[in-house]
Structure 1
Amino acid sequence: MIKAAIMGHGTVGSGVYEVFEMNADKIARVVGEPVEVKYVLDLRDFSALPYGHKFVTDFSVIENDPEVQVVAEVMGGVGAAYEFTKRCLQAGKSVCTSNKELVATRGEELLKIAEEHGVNYMFEASVGGGIPIIRPMLQCLAANEFNEICGILNGTTNYILTQMIHNGVTFEDALKQAQLNGYAEKDPTADIEGHDACRKICILADLAFGDKFDPDEVSCEGITHITLEDVANADKLGCVIKLIGRTVRCGDGTAYAYVAPHLIPKDNLLASVEDVFNAIMVNGNATGDVMFYGKGAGKLATASAVAADMLDCLEHAGRRRRIMWGDGSKHLLRPLDELQSAWYVRYRGARKELETVLPVESLAEPAEGVLVARTGRLTTAEMRSRMETLNSCGTVHAAMRIL
């Protein structure tokens, strides 16, 4: 019987254990023999559970047990999770994780350690939860050069925006609903400020372009400033507002990467992705657009992706998956200044000023003194400069890209 371990017994960790119990027969058929979760690492007391005897509080028990071949790291963060992951890999144990923060910030280092010790570091669950995206990029789409990856990467913000769009709920009230429903944490900052989506688009860019995209260097804008007024204006322009993570390859091999709310035309497939669902559009130079859709979070959905990585490690023991990217020394991240977009602008001021400063393609006045414009394509730098000009004689209340 093969032995495994789980580090962390929160939502995802308990889900991983449940998947191994629930689908034990199927797992045994896939791997060729039964797989037992021998240890669960957590400092809290779970002795009342039917498998309470499997809990340990000392990581070295897992590290030093030669029977344990694969470990799930579902602790989160970059402190103990980083240290324990590194030590597991150095001890010759493969590690599978849903920890997007750790993969985005230390992934290249952990992948190198895994290579040095002939084991795997796998992280399918770190980007789309239960949505397959990492493995398809590495295998099914491996013959493609990736031109663009664009998607709704955070279910919490998508739920909030869906409530605003369809039910006229304010941002503040929609956030409270998300928290009551368990979609948002007590501290929702990572979601609503875009940091969660930023880590995910960095991982996808790392994989697509072969070098590290540091989340601290990637432009990241959340949804806290979006109002029902913007939602209504977007609807009149035939669009909906979505928080988008996007990376775009340029001709010289560099790439843009950023997170920001966008107006999405209603005939775009991403516009119909609602509630806690996520969708990722990958454009390859051979395939064109391919879309991956599903619940981007959730206990069993995410746990199934972690467990699948663990089975992959066991089924192909002794054979490494070819996953690797650089340390960021290629400096592939291109400044957003030159990225061109059409823009949505909500402005309070004189019409003549707005039409003089911006290449206005359509203009409406939904309320007295308020002007809503859709512009032609401008670079980020051009838009920033023109907003400064407009703010010197009026007030730009909102400016968002149109996809």
Structure 2
Amino acid sequence: MTTATPELPTLRVGMLGCGTVGSQVARIITQQHDDLAARTGAHVELVAIAVRDASKDRPGIDPALFTQDAAGLVARDDLDIIIELIGGVESTRELVATALSRGTSVVTANKALLAAHGAELTGIANQTGADLYYEAAVAGAIPILRPLRESLVGDEITMVMGIVNGTTNYILDQMTTTGADFDDALAQAQGLGYAEADPTADIEGHDAAAKAAILASLAFHTRVSGDQVFCEGISHLTAADIEAVTRLGFVLKLLAVAQLTPEDQVSVRVHPVILPNSHPLSSVHGAYNAIFVESREAGRLMFMGPGAGGAPTASAVMGDLVTVARNRKRGVAGHAPSGYTDRVVAPMGGTECLFYLRFDVDDKPGVLAQAASVFSRRGVSLQTVSQIAKLEGPAGHEQPLATLGIMTHETQEQVIQECVAELQAEPFLHGEVRLLRVEGMA
């Protein structure tokens, strides 16, 4: 333990929220005061915490710190830094904007806020010379935003692809390794605290989409908002989908993918992805997160670790707090992320990748040729075509069925969707066409 130096300046910190992460941060600030002083060159003093219920008992935290006046807290003249950990978007935007407009630096873990209003808040911070740091908003304790913002800023990033939601990774991992169906795997995730009682934001991909917007904005120096991200979740996936993918020697993950297109546009999407078992992301199990980065000069980089939870997220918040405190003591602000390229966000229809389709057809001569012709008419090249299984036809249907699996070469999303629509109208098809996108085959 380092002895505090009385002559050091004092930096006064206010905090919004004191839940799982906030309580961890508050305890670290108060219990590690001397260490923080040694790291920052200043006394970091937590002076107030805004909460909904100031009377609630929070062990280990001085009750005198609590206030229910969040608006009054961010408007104070004697604060240097605000730590925002309450979540939400519109009401929180007002609080953060107020703090930044007064020159108070802000550390936040709020990905939804940044995905919706990141450009506006960064602009305010730039005008007033305040810092806005948010490492904890994406992938918990994994240091990914600062490498994109600082370490790799001299390089040209071409792709960021990753597992950025631990809940969905746990569910798909359970379905793959144990054969569980989706509902059972989700129940297990909820039982372990990986999934909320209402898991919609996770399983429908909204949480990952907000993080994808932040990653794309930093990687490609272009403002990307959450509503510009194509989003498809995992709630429609079945044990049969997992079984088919596993049979191919692949694994199924929910990925955030942000990449530059040949037209120098930015493609940003969240959806289930088939990965070959040789890809580094395929071996990420449980509730872990991992992010794979490709750049012109550095090549391929991988960042992996716990992506959620009180302690990992608090670690990222504290890292930002130390950086901001150092800047504050020196009277400077860190380099703000830039949006100088102003690239167009590409529509999903123009995205190109490989696709895997699985569907049931009448098991009789000529059907395979009819199915193949649907793709041929649109110029889609087929990499492999296989009959996966023979099935009994539905009640009253004398003809047996066969399950076909088709892997295409690279083609456009809009073209493959046209193929799916035509296949669904064919009399030889039974049930729905199952469509999955493929990455990592290059």
Interval of TM-score (by shorter of Structure 1 and Structure 2): over 0.9
- Counterpart selection for 2:322 from 289, 311, 314: 311
Q: Distance in 1 between matches of 2:313 and 2:157?
A: 25
Q: Could you tell me whether the CA contact under 8 Å between 1:366 and 1:372 is conserved in 2?
A: no
Q: Could you tell me whether the CA contact under 8 Å between 2:293 and 2:302 is conserved in 1?
A: yes
Q: Distance in 2 between matches of 1:61 and 1:380?
A: 50
Question: What displacement does 1:327 show?
Answer: 10
Q: Could you tell me whether the CA contact under 8 Å between 2:352 and 2:411 is conserved in 1?
A: yes
Partner of 2:18: 9
Alignment of 1:264-275 (within 5 A): 264-275=275-286
Q: Could you tell me whether the CA contact under 8 Å between 1:213 and 1:332 is conserved in 2?
A: no
- Counterpart selection for 1:53 from 60, 64, 70: 64
Partner of 2:424: 391
Q: Distance in 1 between matches of 2:352 and 2:438?
A: 10
C-alpha spacing 1:252/1:386, structure 2 compared with 1 (3 Å): closer
C-alpha spacing 1:188/1:268, structure 2 compared with 1 (3 Å): same
Alignment of 1:20-31 (within 5 A): 20-31=29-40
Q: Distance in 2 between matches of 1:324 and 1:309?
A: 15
Q: Distance in 2 between matches of 1:7 and 1:247?
A: 31
- Counterpart selection for 2:389 from 366, 377, 383: 366
> Is 1:110 aligned with 2:143?
no
- Counterpart selection for 1:188 from 189, 192, 199: 199
Secondary structure of the residue aligned to 1:48 is coil
Secondary structure of the residue aligned to 1:128 is coil
Secondary structure of the residue aligned to 1:320 is coil
Q: Distance in 2 between matches of 1:60 and 1:170?
A: 46
- Counterpart selection for 1:354 from 371, 387, 394: 371
Q: Could you tell me whether the CA contact under 8 Å between 1:2 and 1:67 is conserved in 2?
A: no
> Is 1:137 aligned with 2:170?
no
Structure 1 counterpart of 2:190, one-letter code: Q
Question: What displacement does 1:367 show?
Answer: 4.3
Q: Distance in 2 between matches of 1:56 and 1:45?
A: 6
- Tell me how many residue pairs correspond in the alignment: 402
Partner of 2:259: 248
> Is 1:337 aligned with 2:349?
yes
Question: What displacement does 1:64 show?
Answer: 4.1
Partner of 2:27: 18
Secondary structure of the residue aligned to 2:112 is helix
Structure 2 counterpart of 1:153, one-letter code: V
Q: Could you tell me whether the CA contact under 8 Å between 1:345 and 1:396 is conserved in 2?
A: no
Q: Distance in 1 between matches of 2:72 and 2:388?
A: 67
Query: Which one is further off, 43-52 or 194-203?
Result: 43-52
Secondary structure of the residue aligned to 2:271 is strand
Partner of 1:323: 336
Structure 2 counterpart of 1:366, one-letter code: A
> Is 1:94 aligned with 2:127?
no
Cα deviation code 1:252-298 (max 9, x no counterpart):
32111111101110010000011110111111111011111011111
Q: Distance in 2 between matches of 1:376 and 1:12?
A: 45
Q: Could you tell me whether the CA contact under 8 Å between 2:42 and 2:325 is conserved in 1?
A: no
Structure 1 residue ranges without an equivalent (≥5):
none
Q: Could you tell me whether the CA contact under 8 Å between 1:47 and 1:53 is conserved in 2?
A: no
Q: Could you tell me whether the CA contact under 8 Å between 1:194 and 1:260 is conserved in 2?
A: yes
Structure 1 counterpart of 2:413, one-letter code: T
Q: Distance in 2 between matches of 1:291 and 1:18?
A: 32
C-alpha spacing 1:60/1:219, structure 2 compared with 1 (3 Å): closer
Partner of 1:376: 409
- Counterpart selection for 1:36 from 36, 41, 45: 45
Secondary structure of the residue aligned to 1:68 is coil
Question: What displacement does 1:336 show?
Answer: 2.3
Q: Distance in 2 between matches of 1:64 and 1:232?
A: 56
Query: Could you say what the CA RMSD is over the residues aligned between the two structures, in angstroms?
Result: 1.8
Cα deviation code 1:199-235 (max 9, x no counterpart):
1111111112222222212211000111111111111
Structure 2 counterpart of 1:377, one-letter code: E
Secondary structure of the residue aligned to 1:197 is helix
Q: Distance in 2 between matches of 1:96 and 1:285?
A: 31
Secondary structure of the residue aligned to 1:312 is helix
Partner of 2:394: none
Structure 2 counterpart of 1:337, one-letter code: G
Task: Report which structure shows greater RCO (CA 8 Å, sep ≥6).
Answer: 1
Q: Distance in 1 between matches of 2:135 and 2:88?
A: 17
Give me the identity figure in percent: 33
TM-score normalized by the length of structure 1: 0.95
The structure with the largest alpha-carbon Rg is 2
Alignment of 1:218-297 (within 5 A): 218-297=229-308
Question: What displacement does 1:35 show?
Answer: 1.4
Q: Could you tell me whether the CA contact under 8 Å between 1:197 and 1:245 is conserved in 2?
A: yes
Q: Could you tell me whether the CA contact under 8 Å between 2:54 and 2:68 is conserved in 1?
A: no
Structure 2 counterpart of 1:255, one-letter code: V
TM-score normalized by the length of structure 2: 0.87
> Is 1:158 aligned with 2:191?
no
Secondary structure of the residue aligned to 1:202 is helix
Question: What displacement does 1:247 show?
Answer: 1.0
Query: Which one is further off, 346-355 or 187-196?
Result: 346-355
Q: Could you tell me whether the CA contact under 8 Å between 1:71 and 1:310 is conserved in 2?
A: no
Query: Which one is further off, 35-44 or 349-358?
Result: 349-358
Q: Could you tell me whether the CA contact under 8 Å between 2:84 and 2:110 is conserved in 1?
A: yes
